[in-house]
A and B are shown apart, each in its own frame.
Chain A
């Protein structure tokens, strides 16, 4: 262990690979100082673990009704109780983590590249292209999310994918604005001028010099946004526009469970708690990442 540590902390890395590991390790050391961030990371890790290990963690598939065990309170047999069809709520939450992760993943894959590309190009190139791209961004920013989602669902039919697509299409614009703001200040910096004076082509400057500098604010914003995205997806599920029953999507579970709020509180409460904890986890993680990724705070 200490040999690995020494290898990671050596003053003079001997290869590209060692230098890269070292950078990562130093980031981790800084990250570890922040208790909240570590808690956030633990929560997100637990979410991923639950999604991967769902078949082994849960006792059932979470979709088959068991009418003999309807609305059982939490206890030894059913940790989180059962719902109106007798399905184990704990199992449904575990399976639902896959859906949450799916939403999070899909939104990330769509939002980050689009937002980053639009923002970086607009900020770096400037001029009329900047104005055009930013007006486009404003249009998407101004679009009410739920209405777009309704339009999408009307056109393509209800379902999780269409709901996520609708969310992603309205969510990329703030990222474009962040990336543009960073690129605008970078455009005049000496190191970008230096790259240009060396004849490094524009696309390489954009991808290799400008974009990495915008990445940290984008990642941080993404983790802070995750909570909102999960909640919007849950809201769509709640309206019946997202995941369709019997899929154990957390928002849809709350929607169905709200009829039992007074007498069988656990039916909506546990999925609600799951959303709360995961949102909090992403938030804490985002806070910690901000400290680590900000180049000025580390030296």
Chain B
């Protein structure tokens, strides 16, 4: 590999629960993400995409058993995370309605992490972070319920960026948003990645979004990574695995159903 990899995952296995209720959510997953690039993770619903991100971010419940290797810029990642390590790796959640504390103002949502990490001139940082995501200072004292879904997701992105991470994990950042807001957020993410030299891991079920944003992707199904490919392969419709091609087909709309089922006659 020519460029250094920011994230390397090899043989990752995650099991929830014990005994009869044990459930292996991720099986022997491997991929690596080049520093400064954007990596897409697509796949079936329930295939373990969120679980992989949570394992990286150190957010799995203590009862989950994790095996395999995860490396961040070459250093192994262990379940116990120090504060400086957490700072380097931030996550943006899927649901902008659930990921902001309903009783905290934007001011506190952005200010608290900065304070915890001992950053200086917090007031200026808050205003800058808002400007970075295209919101003016008038949003500073609002509560999440006074914001639209798109504005909330911008705040969630600003919160992740205010502590200057190197890597941002994005879990379906736009699936709860309408297309016009999605376009704004995707443009915003592209700009921020260029300006701050960030590495993205982007989970999405929308292949068009992945094709638009990423340089490489992995396809997951039932806990396994079944294909690693560059984005040119996706654009050229040359994915190898049958399921990956099915995904791509299905993205065209309802008529072209995967198993050749006839859509309802009308």
A33 surroundings in chain B (CB, below 8 A):
none
Partner of A194, one of B62, B91, B102: B91
A105 touches B (CB below 8 Å): no
Partner of A199, one of B99, B104, B117, B159: B117
| CB proximity to B under 8 Å, residues A244-263 | none
Decide: A199 and B141 in contact? CB cutoff 8 A: no
Decide: A199 and B102 in contact? CB cutoff 8 A: no
B132 touches A (CB below 8 Å): no
Q: Which of A196, A199, A299 has the most CB of B within 10 A?
A: A199
Decide: B163 and A212 in contact? CB cutoff 8 A: no
Decide: B99 and A197 in contact? CB cutoff 8 A: no
The interface bits of chain B over 119-160 (1 if a CB of A lies within 8 angstroms of the residue's CB, else 0) are: 000000000000000000010010101000000000010010
Given contacts A190-B98, A191-B101, A213-B103, contact A197 B58 (CB under 8 A): yes
A198 touches B (CB below 8 Å): yes
The interface bits of chain B over 91-106 (1 if a CB of A lies within 8 angstroms of the residue's CB, else 0) are: 1011100111111110
Decide: B98 and A198 in contact? CB cutoff 8 A: no
Decide: A193 and B141 in contact? CB cutoff 8 A: no
The interface bits of chain A over 187-231 (1 if a CB of B lies within 8 angstroms of the residue's CB, else 0) are: 001110111111111001000110011000000000000000000
Decide: B113 and A190 in contact? CB cutoff 8 A: no
B103 surroundings in chain A (CB, below 8 A):
212-213, 295
Decide: A197 and B91 in contact? CB cutoff 8 A: yes
| CB proximity to B under 8 Å, residues A237-277 | none
Interface size range of chain B in the complex:
35 or more
Decide: B141 and A18 in contact? CB cutoff 8 A: yes
Chain A residue nearest in CB terms to B139 = A12
Partner of B116, one of A23, A194, A204, A299: A204
The CA of A22 and the CA of B141, in the complex, are separated in Å by 10
Q: Which of A13, A22, A191, A198 has the most CB of B within 10 A?
A: A198
Chief secondary structure at chain B's binding surface: loop
A19 touches B (CB below 8 Å): yes
Partner of A193, one of B87, B93, B163: B93
Decide: B145 and A198 in contact? CB cutoff 8 A: no
Chain B residue nearest in CB terms to A194 = B99
A16 touches B (CB below 8 Å): yes
B98 surroundings in chain A (CB, below 8 A):
189-191
A201 surroundings in chain B (CB, below 8 A):
83, 116
B112 touches A (CB below 8 Å): yes
Chain B residue nearest in CB terms to A18 = B141
B94 surroundings in chain A (CB, below 8 A):
190
The CA of A209 and the CA of B83, in the complex, are separated in Å by 18
| Chain A count of residues within 8 A CB distance of the other chain | 31
Decide: B107 and A197 in contact? CB cutoff 8 A: no
Decide: B93 and A16 in contact? CB cutoff 8 A: no
The CA of A54 and the CA of B93, in the complex, are separated in Å by 57
Decide: A199 and B113 in contact? CB cutoff 8 A: yes
Decide: A191 and B99 in contact? CB cutoff 8 A: yes
The smallest C-beta distance from A59 to any residue of chain B, in angstroms, reads: 48
B57 touches A (CB below 8 Å): yes
The smallest C-beta distance from A184 to any residue of chain B, in angstroms, reads: 13
Chain A residue nearest in CB terms to B111 = A16
B59 touches A (CB below 8 Å): yes
The CA of A22 and the CA of B140, in the complex, are separated in Å by 14
Decide: B59 and A295 in contact? CB cutoff 8 A: no
The smallest C-beta distance from A201 to any residue of chain B, in angstroms, reads: 7
The CA of A209 and the CA of B104, in the complex, are separated in Å by 8
B86 touches A (CB below 8 Å): yes
Decide: B86 and A198 in contact? CB cutoff 8 A: yes
| CB proximity to B under 8 Å, residues A170-200 | 189-191, 193-200
Chain B residue nearest in CB terms to A199 = B86
Decide: B107 and A194 in contact? CB cutoff 8 A: no
B244 touches A (CB below 8 Å): no
The CA of A278 and the CA of B145, in the complex, are separated in Å by 36
A208 surroundings in chain B (CB, below 8 A):
112
B138 surroundings in chain A (CB, below 8 A):
11-12
B59 surroundings in chain A (CB, below 8 A):
193, 196-197
The CA of A12 and the CA of B58, in the complex, are separated in Å by 37
Top-5 shortest CB links A-B: A199-B86, A19-B141, A190-B99, A12-B138, A199-B83
Subset of 22 A-B contacts with CB under 8 Å = A16-B141, A19-B107, A127-B62, A190-B95, A191-B101, A191-B102, A193-B59, A194-B91, A194-B93, A194-B99, A197-B59, A197-B90, A197-B91, A199-B81, A199-B113, A199-B116, A200-B112, A201-B116, A209-B104, A213-B103, A295-B145, A298-B145
Extra contacts besides A189-B98, A190-B95, A200-B113 (16): CB < 8 Å: A11-B138, A15-B141, A127-B62, A190-B94, A191-B98, A194-B91, A196-B59, A197-B59, A197-B91, A198-B113, A198-B159, A198-B163, A199-B81, A199-B117, A295-B145, A299-B145
Chain B residues at the A interface, C-beta cutoff of 8 Å: 54, 57-59, 62, 81, 83, 86-87, 89-91, 93-95, 98-105, 107, 112-113, 116-117, 138, 141, 143, 145, 156, 159, 163
